[in-house]
């Protein structure tokens, strides 16, 4: 086993295999950099997924907002963040979704590791 294959719990290493699996999905999410694309997606999500050639599993995970499943299917968090933006979710919302917490619970988890913040 090479050093490269060492994994960290709860972390999907976004490597060549994952980038291959997720290319179409990531390309779709990359398109969300433009307002026109976001609007088109919002009008008909399934058609927009088809336009980019997502697999049926990827499409289903998009419709279900299943962020973890999208990561397992090759989604990179860089582009999934843009998808989250289309949905009006911030990174604490996305953290909550992935960890089975509400956004408030996720924020509390972050705060539990806090340091250097004295609230002014």
* DSSP reduced 3-state for 105: helix
Q: In the complex, what is the shortest distance from the CB of residue 50 to another protein, in angstroms, rounded to a whole number? A: 20
| Near another protein by CB under 8 A: residue from 62, 78, 102, 104 | 78
Angle between helices 23-31 and 56-64 (to 10 degrees): 40
Pick between residue 48 and residue 106 the one whose CB is nearest to another protein: 106
Asked if residue 111 binds another protein (CB under 8 A), the reply is: yes
CA angle 42–88–116, rounded 5-degree value:
160
Instruction: Give yes or no for a contact between 101 and 107, defined as CB atoms under 8 angstroms apart.
Output: no
Interacting residues toward another protein by CB under 8 A: 3-4, 6, 8-16, 19, 23, 26-27, 29-30, 32-35, 38, 68, 71, 76-82, 84-86, 90-92, 94-95, 98-99, 106, 109-111, 113-120
């Amino acid at each position: 086993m090479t050093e490269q294959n060492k994994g960290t719990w709860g972390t999907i290493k976004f490597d060549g295999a994952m980038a291959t699996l997720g290319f179409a999905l990531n390309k779709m999410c990359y398109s969300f950099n433009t307002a026109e694309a976001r609007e088109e997606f919002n009008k008909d999500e399934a058609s927009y997924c088809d336009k980019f050639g997502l697999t049926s599993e990827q499409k289903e995970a998009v419709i279900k907002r299943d962020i973890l499943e999208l990561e397992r299917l090759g989604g990179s968090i860089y582009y999934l963040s843009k998808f989250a933006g289309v949905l009006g979710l911030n990174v604490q919302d996305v953290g909550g979704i992935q960890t089975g917490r509400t956004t408030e619970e996720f924020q509390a988890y972050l705060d539990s590791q806090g340091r250097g913040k004295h609230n002014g």
